[in-house]
Amino acid sequence: MKTLSLIKTLLIATVLVLAGCSGVSGVAKDEPGLVLVAGATGGTGRALVRNLQAQGYPVRAFVRDIDKARLVLGENIEYAQGDVRDINSINAAMTDVDYVISSIGAGQKDPENGPEAVDYGGVKNMVEASAAADIKQFVLVSSSGVTQEDHFLNKIMNNVLKWKFKGEEVLRDSGVEYTIVRPGGLINEPGGQQGLIFAQGDTTTGRITREDVALICIEALQNKSALNKTFETYSTEEPGVNNWPALFSALQSD
């Protein structure tokens, strides 16, 4: 079964278009709607905010401390103060929101901000608030390896991947249109330069830049081929241009 799963994964995995342009979109999108970004001050969150703004999306950053967030994200953005562990603060931030992208992750110093409270409880609160607000799409940044109970990250980070998977399950069962992105190991290097692999089955992994994860999340917005799908993603060894419609269309729906 593992062999068949791996074959299926590799068959589905990647469609790369080697061309001389910066990217291939091919998806007609409506006017950009307001995007609420949770985890906006983290490494991936900052890349999300930057690229959303570059593509013309109005952005509302959901942060715990607006003054500190301004030092990271600047003034040219709307802020909503709250905590993913407090659903009332999330509900208050949902006014007029069309899309939600969550790149939240547990802290390692505060037990009350651990994986169960954030990667599961925080995601659960975000999903429930999104359902109540009738948003159009929820994009969740999760992680590869979430179905592997003996993964080393579970051993050193309080079962973080197990809690991330439980958060995924809440979203899949919610009735909210969604896309779940499971990146491999995150690296802080420039994005948009390498071909990307999309895979399913949680049997393979690799590394990927935070910038590329952000680009994937944004390409998923308003893309019907990305709806209600869960997939792993990582970079290839070679530079390449990514055919986004083909990558999303090759994936199986959940």
Q: Is residue 100 part of a domain?
A: yes
pTM, full prediction: 0.89
Residue 49 pLDDT exceeds 70:
yes
Q: Is residue 22 part of a domain?
A: no
Q: Is residue 207 part of a domain?
A: yes
Q: Is residue 108 part of a domain?
A: yes
If one counts the domains in the chain, the total is: 1
Q: Is residue 16 part of a domain?
A: no
| Model pLDDT, residue 157 | 86
CA distance 54 to 32: 12
Q: Is residue 127 part of a domain?
A: yes
Q: Is residue 2 part of a domain?
A: no
CA distance 189 to 224: 29
- CATH assignment at residue 54: 3.40.50.720
| Model pLDDT, residue 15 | 38
| Model pLDDT, residue 237 | 80
Contact (CB, 8 A) for 127 and 138: yes
- Beta bridge partner(s), residue 172: none
Q: Is residue 178 part of a domain?
A: yes
Tell me the pLDDT tens digit for each residue of 149-178. Answer: 899 998 888 899 999 999 999 999 999 999
Give the range of the structural domain holding residue 126, as residue numbers without chain letter: 30-249
Parallel/antiparallel/unpaired status of strands 99-102 and 137-141: parallel
In Å, how far are 42, 101, 203, 228 from 37, measured between CA atoms?
11, 5, 29, 19
